[in-house]
């Protein structure tokens, strides 16, 4: 479910319910995630007030007075604000019960997500310290991408999905951005021209922003932190459109696998 727009939408949806509010207690029904929830986690969080919520890449950071914790939604996670009395459903693994009577509930069927205590210097944590720029940051620009791509033989699609290059370009948006910028996903990153890098950067930013504005609507069943679904499906240009006509030239969209991930492109529009 979560690509960056969904994570951003989730963050926005839960923010007002949490900032300035006390977490009375954390209830962990399942601690086996990508990384197990640490033994002392509950004790570190219980009774503390959330001071701020932010996002770095697809990690949602919760600032308390004495440190930070973060939640990653993995492939199938979602966070919702519910009333404390709301019945537990399957895969509702962690609750953050608030003094307001509400509850932040983490549901994650596949358990690829994570809940981690970061301490007081979150950006020094190994998961965050090596991340590339945010797509909306000034430092993510055509020149930067072009320089990073020098001599790289990796397929450009894998290249832009690498969090050390830029964060937030998940599988769907990587496919979409490459279509918009007219670049075939299999092309070695080092063979993408400077002008194309510029176009690719603009496409990544545009497609992510557009989706955030629509409420983070990628596929199917996304529901934001306030429990409201994304308004409507984004009109995907190539993703999951194998054999369907290209929206620009009507050629059938092709599908292939790159690095174990499904990829789609228009053989005529993307060189």
Residue 62, strand partner residues = 53, 69
Annotation says 213 is catalytic: no
6 forms part of the interface with DNA (CB under 7 A): yes
Closest CA to 240 of 228, 230, 254: 254
127 forms part of the interface with DNA (CB under 7 A): yes
**Please, which residue, 85 or 243, has the CB nearer to DNA?**
243
Annotation says 151 is catalytic: no
d(CA 44, CA 237): 45
**Please, which residue, 22 or 91, has the CB nearer to DNA?**
91
d(CA 206, CA 180): 10
Q: Is the alpha carbon torsion for 233, 235, 239, 243 positive or negative?
A: positive
Extract the tokens encoding 267.
């053989």
Closest CA to 2 of 188, 230, 226, 154: 230
Annotation says 29 is catalytic: no
Question: Strands 52-56 and 48-49: what pairing?
Answer: unpaired
Binding characters for DNA, 225-244, by CB under 7 A (x = yes): --------------------
Single out the catalytic residue among 5, 11, 55, 58: 58
Q: How far is the CB of 20 from DNA (least distance, A)?
A: 28
Whole-Å CA distances, 131 to 135, 170, 227: 11, 14, 30
Q: How far is the CB of 223 from DNA (least distance, A)?
A: 10
Total residues in contact with DNA, by rule CB under 7 A: 41
71 forms part of the interface with DNA (CB under 7 A): no
Interacting residue ranges for DNA, rule: CB under 7 A: 1-3, 6, 32, 34, 57-58, 72, 74-76, 90-91, 109-112, 126-127, 151-155, 158, 163, 170-172, 189-190, 218-222, 259-262
Q: Which residues are catalytic?
A: 2-3, 58, 261
């Amino acid at each position: 479910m979560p690509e960056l727009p969904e994570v951003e939408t989730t963050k926005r949806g839960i923010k007002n319910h949490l900032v300035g509010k006390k977490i009375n207690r954390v209830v962990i029904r399942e601690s086996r995630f990508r990384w197990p929830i640490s033994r002392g986690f509950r004790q570190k969080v219980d009774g503390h007030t959330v001071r701020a919520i932010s996002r770095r890449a697809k990690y949602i950071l919760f600032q308390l007075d004495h440190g930070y914790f973060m939640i990653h939604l993995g492939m199938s996670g979602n966070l919702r604000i519910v009333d404390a009395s709301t019945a537990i459903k399957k895969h509702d693994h962690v609750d953050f019960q608030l003094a307001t009577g509400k509850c932040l509930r983490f549901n994650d069927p596949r358990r690829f997500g994570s809940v981690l205590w970061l301490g007081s210097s979150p950006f020094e944590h190994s998961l965050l310290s090596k991340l590339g720029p945010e797509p909306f940051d000034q430092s993510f620009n055509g020149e930067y991408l072009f320089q990073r791509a020098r001599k790289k033989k990796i397929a450009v699609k894998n290249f832009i999905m690498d969090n050390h290059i830029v964060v937030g370009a998940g599988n769907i948006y990587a496919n979409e951005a490459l279509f918009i910028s007219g670049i075939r996903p299999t092309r070695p990153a080092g063979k993408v021209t400077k002008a194309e890098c510029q176009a690719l950067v603009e496409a990544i930013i545009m497609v992510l922003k557009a989706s955030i504005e629509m409420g983070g609507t990628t596929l199917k069943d996304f529901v934001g932190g306030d429990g409201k679904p994304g308004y409507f499906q984004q009109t995907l240009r190539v993703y999951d459109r194998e054999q369907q006509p290209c929206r620009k030239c009507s050629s059938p969209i092709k599908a292939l696998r790159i690095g174990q991930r499904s990829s789609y492109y228009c053989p005529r529009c993307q060189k």
